[in-house]
Structure 1
């Protein structure tokens, strides 16, 4: 009887060990599945032009690419701090061509890109009684962070300013059309060119680009180009008049000399 009891106890022990082993194996499989689950990407946008993307979260990291103002990106959810750069924070991003890298967190913002279609008054909160002294200019590009009824919260750098403004603006003063955003970015660069001839050439290039025809900024750019061309014609006319005047004065002098002789 004792022998049978001993065999029965051993059998129960073996079954228990096999059960524990099976549970451990199942737990490991479930953990592996969880680790292989892809991270959730978050849509974001660049709010600065020409930001470097690095292989590592450091300014010394290998250069991967650069991103343009208003360019769509995705945040992977990973972040890091570089203690050698006064604890500057970096975030990992994924580009449209699936390349991944790290950028300084200050220059990207979760949300989507928008551009101002006219002067846009900035408010502290979504309330007309909270008006600030700041406003975005036409063709400023910014990130749309939040929406509340006819109001939207945005963050961006206005032309001529050195850092970002964050505040609430009216939704109707903005465009989220990708063609308008692209034209706004290129137009800003063109309008900053000091040499009027080169500026006119840059504007002309935007106007002639068939991909940009539908932009509501086209008329503004055409007017700017006409003004530049008119200024150039006026300069040519003034120069011609001066030359004619010099030639006339010279002829009069020659006539006087001939008469005196």
Structure 2
């Protein structure tokens, strides 16, 4: 009888221990799941600025990946933190998320992570460092769109493609030369595209459309664009006059 009693006590103790262990494991599981969820919520969203118009976003980190959509120069996107370097091309790719929810991979070279978009108010000298003694021969032009990546006093480190440059570059400029107004940035973007049209007539028409857009009417660049239109119209007349003179010349 004594042995039976001892056996019953042992089984009861074992059952209780197993039950407690089960609760403990379940509790640990819940804590882990909550911890993971909290970590995901706490993870900050890193912003990035697109530095090239019509920059492609693809399903995979490769130039041969399926095309999803493209980004606009100056557009702000979310950088997910995922990055891959193509083993063959050695090109680095970042995974980004657009404001409409689309996600994909794009070239890291043409993004400014943690940057703030801006546009040049006037022509500005580029410096190697925030020091007047480090001036370079390079300049940013009026309405060039850039990303500000660092501030130091009245200096700003910027990244972007200059109108007269071929590649995305970095350098320091005086902060007074930059506007971060979204209307100014949009106006600069569309005006820059218009100026690249092949003929004077096309440029004039495209620029007139920019300043004719009521959403952009308050931009600081309107007067500059109006000046460019007058310049192009004058140059167009000069070309017409030359053509007329050539036609009037008597044949020998």
Pick the TM interval, shorter chain: 0.7 to 0.9
**Alignment TM-score, normalising by the size of structure 1:** 0.84
Task: Spell out structure 1 runs of 4+ moving beyond 6 A.
Answer: none
Distance across 1 between alignment mates of 2:160 and 2:225: 22
Which 5+ residue runs of structure 2 have no aligned equivalent?
none
Distance across 1 between alignment mates of 2:164 and 2:136: 18
What residue is the counterpart of 2:110 in the other structure? 107
Corresponding pairs, count? 245
**Alignment TM-score, normalising by the size of structure 2:** 0.87
Bigger shift: residues 187-196 or 229-238: 229-238
Bigger shift: residues 166-175 or 22-31: 22-31
What residue is the counterpart of 2:144 in the other structure? 140
Which 5+ residue runs of structure 1 have no aligned equivalent?
250-261
What residue is the counterpart of 1:223 in the other structure? 227
What residue is the counterpart of 1:254 in the other structure? none
CA RMSD, aligned part only? 2.3
* Deviation readout 1:103-122 (Å, 9 max, x if unpaired): 11111111121111111222
Instruction: Confirm whether residue 82 of structure 1 aligns to residue 86 of structure 2.
Output: yes
Q: Which SS does the other structure have where 1:65 is aligned?
A: strand
Bigger shift: residues 8-17 or 177-186: 8-17
Shift of 1:71: 0.8
Instruction: Confirm whether residue 201 of structure 1 aligns to residue 202 of structure 2.
Output: no
Mapping of residues 65-214 of structure 1, within 5 Å: 65-83=69-87, 85-110=88-113, 111-214=115-218
* Deviation readout 1:164-184 (Å, 9 max, x if unpaired): 221222111101111111111
Distance across 2 between alignment mates of 1:5 and 1:167: 83
Q: Given that residues 159 and 170 in structure 2 are in contact (C-alpha distance below 8 angstroms), is that contact kept between their aligned partners in structure 1? A: yes
Rate the CA distance shift 1:238–1:158 in 2: closer, same or farther, 3 A: closer
Distance across 1 between alignment mates of 2:50 and 2:242: 46
Distance across 1 between alignment mates of 2:230 and 2:89: 49
Shift of 1:220: 1.0
What residue is the counterpart of 2:17 in the other structure? 16
Rate the CA distance shift 1:60–1:236 in 2: closer, same or farther, 3 A: closer
Distance across 1 between alignment mates of 2:246 and 2:203: 26
